Chains A and B, each alone.
Chain A
Amino acid sequence: MEAVRYADGTIGFPRHHLGLDGNEPVETVDLSEYTATVVTWTTSTATPPGVREPNHLAIVEFDLEELTDPDDPPVRALGQLTTGDVESGDTVQPVYAEELREPGVGIKLTESQAWDGFRFEPV
């Protein structure tokens, strides 16, 4: 779960070619080593082809006090949850999954992007 630190010191996920202020990425940060807090979540019951149903999703905010300044923007990610039994404010940790949805079933070409990644599991 590779985030990047930009030249101005801020951390962002996912990686962009340049940060919002035009700063270049200077190093990577592995977010899978950190816990996060659920900002908000939903359970989607109308999912596209190749996606599990129901699909529990959340936006989480990583606990990165040791890596960032208090004034830096928060580092967040969107991802699947391992369970729908969560509440906003819960602590979660990333758990690796080889396939988050079935490649080649939806409109996107299988080769066009990665299909593995991290779900979030309540701690």
Chain B
Amino acid sequence: MDTDRVAIIGASMTQFGQREAWIRDLLAEAGIACLEDAGVEPSDVEHCYVSNMSSGEFEGQGGIMNMLAHDLGLLPAYTQRVDQTSSSGGAGIYAAWQSIASGASEMTLLVGGEKMTHRTTGESTDIIASITHPEEYKHGVTLPSFAGMTARHYLERFDAPRESLAKVAVKNHKNGVDNPHAQFRKEVGLETVLESPIVADPLRLYDFCPITDGSAALLFCSESVAREYTDEYAIVSSVAGATDTHVVHERPDPTIMNGVVESGRAAYEMSGYDPEDVDVAELHDMFTILEFLQMEGLGFADHGDAWRLVEAGETERDTGDLPINTSGGLKSKGHPLGASGVAQGVEIYEQLVGEAGPRQVDADVGLCCNVGGFGNCVITTIMEVGA
């Protein structure tokens, strides 16, 4: 029996969407719910990590990790804010895993959150675009415009039908109907996606995730400690991060996200699992095209072939061989930047311990891939059922 493994014994997420609560209360809501889910006292938490991209820019609030520690009665727990742009949540999983695996902490709480909707769409877009290189920023580039250019190149190069991207949105909205915390719980049809307003040609409104408020949390400890609390837990089989060029046009192939490839390769190697061992995956579908690029980068499909799997229904929740984004994904569930990677982990945890309700699939191994920037930093996490 391997007692050195890192376990997850609790998970929570707030309602995602437009919330009146500010970042302080969003984080506290998820943190308290996570501790209650695990039956762990606040005084038992030794490390507390907060995944957040831009609370200073969005709200003018800094030091949120220390605020949370006091608000939840975690003192004198060690705290740290983790910022890795859109992959801050995945980076938080990495930090929490390290804290337990190293023996530095016996019980670690990870909370990810972002408050965004009080800003206009233009302001939020600009805050997010500020992560780009100055040579890109001055041209008015946005993350959606990177997606538009990548999608055009992908469709032209691989002769993929435009409808295949729309089918990603249709699938993820359908999955989100059964997620009580999702921002959108409404199915959309193919025509609705294809006739929605253009945002970054050839991508349209329904190819993009919304702007979202929300928070999510996970509780980590060693497997031996986990057994003191519960019989049902998940194991973090591996977590690995990688970077790619900050400047997007400097990548040798615009249709390959090398951060996905490298983080996936390292995560598979560390866990001993292969792509075919993965039963369910949460991918960072901030834009529909990203689901294709991650499927290919993680070895679920050959380069240029992900669209064929989507067309064949292989990624559907109830009928596919590899259900992808059973939570609804960022597309339907929403994308509160710092929370999204943690929420991916919440979904995989719930799938592995059998708590996913109507979204439940048969899964022993799950994977989440959290993408920062337009792929310049990526975290891939693989989990398995604890026993």
Contact = CB atoms under 8 A, between A and B. Distances in A.
B249 A78 contact: yes
B322 to A, nearest CB: 28
- Interface majority SS (helix, strand, loop, mixed), chain A: loop
Interface in A66-96: 73-74, 76-80, 88
A115 B145 contact: no
A46 B125 contact: yes
A44 B142 contact: yes
Contacts of B57: 107
B152 A42 contact: yes
B160 interface: no
Nearest to B248: A78
A46 B199 contact: yes
A47 B153 contact: no
A51 B301 CA distance: 38
A79 to B, nearest CB: 5
A43 B147 CA distance: 11
Central interface residue in A47, A59, A78, A88, by most chain B CB within 10 Å: A78
Contacts of B136: 78
Interface string B114-146: 000000011101110110011111111110110
B254 interface: yes
Nearest to A15: B135
Interface of B: 57, 121-123, 125-127, 129-130, 133-142, 144-145, 148-150, 152-153, 156, 197-203, 245, 247-250, 252, 254
20 contacts: A13-B135, A43-B148, A43-B198, A44-B144, A45-B198, A45-B201, A46-B144, A48-B126, A49-B126, A50-B140, A52-B140, A55-B145, A59-B254, A73-B252, A78-B248, A106-B126, A106-B137, A113-B137, A113-B138, A117-B139
